[in-house]
Amino acid sequence: MFIESECVEIVAKLMALSARTAPKSKGSDVIEIKIVSKDELGALAASMRSFGEENNLKFFLRDAGNIEKSDCCVIIGVKGDGSLGLNCGGCGFPNCSGMLREQKAIRDTGRDTAFHGPNCVLRQADLGIAVGSAAKTASIHNIDNRIMFSAGVGALKLGWPGDCTVAYGIPLSASGKSIFFDR
């Protein structure tokens, strides 16, 4: 499996490049990326299990098993707690300053949730485009992958990647049968 593992690492780097160069609102890049190595997958899986058990989310436990069987995992997050100053209302607030006030109020409570919001909807769209671009790159190179909310939450609980408010994980595997099928 050495050749396959080496190829997965190369594709993970190409995925990071795809996420980085994906289009972003107003050309403002607040995307953060971490490639979780084989050696770090155990910590990510443990974080996912802990959150799943605390919140009675059984699929977190199943997904943690997939993470442990993966070759690596690409985490893509966004710093969605800023604003672009467009006052579009997509976040549910009439303007950006209303959203920013609510972010501060929620942060001040110390509430522990999967993601930290409210978030700028345009920043979330940027994250979706980056994640989609990365998954496309994995697919082009025939690397089995699955976009996981649970892996993103587990990563955020570990402080990966950086000061992100929302993240998704894309575990990667190269084997004779996809580990993400028949879960």
Quote the pLDDT of residue 174.
96
Cβ atoms of 168 and 149 within 8 Å: the answer is yes
- Hey, CA dihedral for 119, 148, 151, 130, is it positive or negative? negative
Quote the pLDDT of residue 87.
97
Q: What ranges do the domains of the chain cover?
A: 2-170
Quote the pLDDT of residue 111.
80
Q: From first to last of the 183 residues of the chain, give the pLDDT tens digit.
A: 689 999 999 999 999 999 999 999 999 999 999 999 999 999 999 999 999 999 999 999 999 999 999 999 999 999 988 899 999 999 999 999 999 999 999 988 888 899 999 999 999 999 999 999 999 999 999 999 999 999 999 999 999 998 999 999 999 999 999 999 875
Tell me the CB-side half-sphere exposure of residue 77, using CA atoms within 13 A.
29
User: Domain 2-170, what fold?
Assistant: NADH Oxidase (3.40.109)
pTM of this prediction exceeds 0.75: yes
Quote the pLDDT of residue 80.
86
Give the CA diameter of the chain.
54
- Taking CA atoms, 174 is separated from 5, 16, 40, 81, 171, in Å, by 7, 18, 18, 36, 11
Quote the pLDDT of residue 32.
98
Tokens representing 9 are 């690492």
Give the Cα separation of 173 and 176 in Å (integer): 10
Residues sharing a CB contact under 8 Å with residue 136, sequence separation 6 or more, in sequence order? 18
